[in-house]
Chains A and B, each alone.
Chain A
Amino acid sequence: MTPTSLQGGGPEPTARAAVVSVAAPRARLMFQSQTSRRLAFGYLLLAPAALYVLLLVGAPFLFSLYLAVSDANVGDPVATFIGAENFRAALEMDVFWIALRNSIVFLVVAAIFKSLLGTSLAFLLLQDFPGKKLIRGLVVIPFTLPIAISVLAWKWMYDSQFSVINWVLSRVGLIGQYGTDSWPIWLGDPKLALLACIAVNVWRTFPFSAIVLLAGFTSVPLEVLDAAKVDGCSFFQRFRHVVAPMIFPILMIGFLFDTVFTLSDLSVVYLLTQGGPANASKILPVLAYQIGIQAGNLGRGAAIALFLVPLLAPAMFLFLRNLRRREY
């Protein structure tokens, strides 16, 4: 974003130069002043959005770097510089390592399941059949429902006593009656809590994987496929050399987009378990929230949130590269 701010004052000097250089041929002068007017107009239009983003995303991001090296807390607004103390303290917390591990497990396990489900769904939706629009509309509901709201439905389905999942499992005979040891308490059992949260994330995002994959497939022009066929490519050659390279950037972007949102989302775990029982489902965003807001230790909370950056950075970098490649 810095280029925006640097170039914000750019056009005026050029405009002045254009006016000053009277010796220049008349046509060039007109052209130049028109160009500079266009640029000035352009930057003027761009300014509100750029300023908003700079002031409320750029500046806060830098400010979070500052918070992380300060002892800022909610009660005491005057923060002093304490160096890497917050990061060191975080690394010494057991719960930090649990949260880091859980975040990574969450990301990887969820990614495996949603790509399996998403791929099979995409291949089904690629076919032509009556009622396709309706079915597609129904299947994507989990992704379009506001997240906090769908998590509530799951909290009710995971209820310790009246869970509908358990009701079915019990009737089928897979688990025992309520109150016996084989009655799973999804959100209260340290072995199950994280899995239960992962299931909600998978449920919410498998339609997204499917739709992104579909968008990839439909972006391959039929003529290109036909041309390859005419040139004597087999099905696998066509897939390997034509389809795969064309859809790869789209898939990559969808995948990275989902990585960023899965890693940084707090609502699923926060609403289902608050990270419990006994930190069994604690992930980094929940820990950052609890320390930063609930315990009021802004500096430490910011430091923990920033530990997400090294996890996110590779994803962001690849995202950027793919986005650029698609642009041209």
Chain B
Amino acid sequence: MATVLEQKVLSQKQKDRRRHLWIYAGLTPFVFMAVFPIYWMVITAFKQDPDLYRMDNIPFWFNLAPTLRHFKILFFQTNYGAWIINTMTIAAWVAVITLITAVPAGYALARLRLPAAENIGISVFMTYLVPPIILFLPLSRVVAMLGLQDEWWALVVVYPTFTIPFGTWLLMGFFKTVPMEMEEAARVDGCGYLGAFVRVVLPVSLPGVLTAVIFAFTLSMQDFLYGLAFVAPGDQKPVPVGVPTELIRGDVYYWGSLMGAALLVGLPVAVLYNFFLDRFIQGITGGVGK
């Protein structure tokens, strides 16, 4: 009796293993496709030039010793350091602006039973879908009017045009999940609306607020057009704009440095975004916090 059962368990295990093998086999091309360009960037960034530009070797591994020369060029002969600082400062400002606007707005739309709150929420979110390519020409005038052309401050003003709608929508969904009784209890205890919001709702909504900050960061990094159109001086650019426009001069490509520059900033952003991808998808498909 026991042996029969054992056999059954075993064969079930075997079946599972075979099924898993099929799944892995099916996934391999996808993983390869997704990861190969990244692998190619990494190995390019550490290869010596003579190793990069020859055709007779197998290019997938080092034929000469790896080198850090490309990174040295990057930090000592280009504005790369400045771009990293610009990128971080821009993202931080954008996150702050997004927070002080989207958190209250999301709360108001989710919890204060405003007339037509749902429609207002949807129309704010729709502005997220107005593509930059339609807005960048008029916005270039706005930027010029503010006297910010050719400074990274222009991007601090412009990036919230997409982080605020997205953040508001995300937080609106998030605030809907906070139990109503908590605010009511706080108000019975003598808090005003503001008090209930600041002292009771905000502390329990910290995860949602944090998510909004992360998106302010990662969405700012996804921009290329605004940075390209509004910031010309070499030392004012953010990384995603500076690397392709400043490191490529005419026909001379420093592929090693280019790939290194792209990686150093791209990978951390990709990893961070990865953790919050499900929130992003939930956000745009409208099922936030359900």
Contact = CB atoms under 8 A, between A and B. Distances in A.
Interface of A: 1, 3-4, 7, 37-39, 41-43, 45-46, 48-50, 52-53, 56-61, 63-64, 67, 117, 120-121, 124-125, 127, 129-130, 135, 137-154, 156-157, 159, 161-162, 164, 167, 178, 203, 207, 211-212, 215-216, 219, 249-250, 253-254, 257, 260-261, 263-267, 270-271, 284-285, 288-289, 292-293, 298, 301-302, 305-306, 308-309, 312, 316, 319-320, 322-324, 326-327
Contacts of B265: 146, 149
B133 interface: yes
14 contacts: A43-B114, A56-B142, A56-B160, A58-B127, A61-B138, A64-B138, A129-B19, A137-B274, A140-B274, A141-B34, A141-B35, A207-B34, A289-B228, A319-B126
Given A267-B225, A326-B286, A145 B20 contact: no
Given A302-B138, A326-B285, A289 B35 contact: no
B141 A63 contact: yes
Contacts of A289: 133, 136, 225, 228-229
B105 A50 contact: yes
A138 B55 contact: no
B216 interface: no
Interface in B40-83: 40-41, 44, 52-53, 55, 59
B33 interface: yes
B194 interface: yes
B133 A305 contact: yes
A131 B197 CA distance: 41
Contacts of A59: 138
Contacts of A121: 27, 30
B37 A150 contact: yes
A61 B122 contact: no
Which of A57, A127, A285, A327 gathers the greatest number of chain B CB atoms within 10 Å? A57
Contacts of A159: 253, 255
A162 B126 contact: no
B284 A253 contact: yes
A144 B281 contact: no
A148 B116 contact: no
B241 interface: yes
A3 B258 contact: no
Contact of A327 (B113, B118, B197): B118
Contacts of B113: 38, 42
Contacts of B262: 149-150, 152-153
B285 A253 contact: yes
A50 B124 contact: yes
B122 A323 contact: yes
Contacts of A43: 108, 114
A155 B221 CA distance: 19
Interface in B243-290: 243-244, 253, 255, 258-259, 262-263, 265-267, 269-271, 273-274, 277-278, 281-282, 284-287
Given A56-B161, A250-B285, A257-B284, A157 B40 contact: yes
A49 B274 contact: no
A167 B55 contact: yes
Interface in B147-200: 157-158, 160-161, 164-165, 168, 193-194, 197
A126 B208 CA distance: 27
B135 A124 contact: no
Contacts of A49: 101-102, 104-105, 124, 164, 168
B7 interface: no
B114 to A, nearest CB: 5
A267 B112 contact: no
A167 B132 CA distance: 38
A63 B138 contact: yes
Given A167-B55, A289-B228, 8 more contacts: A3-B123, A41-B194, A46-B105, A50-B120, A53-B165, A120-B26, A154-B37, A298-B141
A57 B38 contact: no
B31 A135 contact: yes
Interface in B210-244: 218, 221-222, 224-225, 228-229, 239-241, 243-244
B59 A164 contact: yes
A264 B286 contact: no
A247 to B, nearest CB: 10
B139 A145 contact: no
A56 B142 CA distance: 8
A292 B132 CA distance: 13
A147 B222 contact: yes
Nearest to A261: B131
B129 interface: yes
Contact of B224 (A148, A164, A178, A316): A148
Given A141-B35, A157-B40, A288-B133, A52 B277 contact: no
A142 B34 contact: yes
Contacts of A148: 224, 240-241, 243-244
B137 A146 contact: no
B140 interface: yes
Given A37-B193, A38-B112, A147-B224, A308 B31 contact: no
Contact of A46 (B100, B104, B194, B285): B104
B101 A52 contact: yes
A46 B120 contact: yes
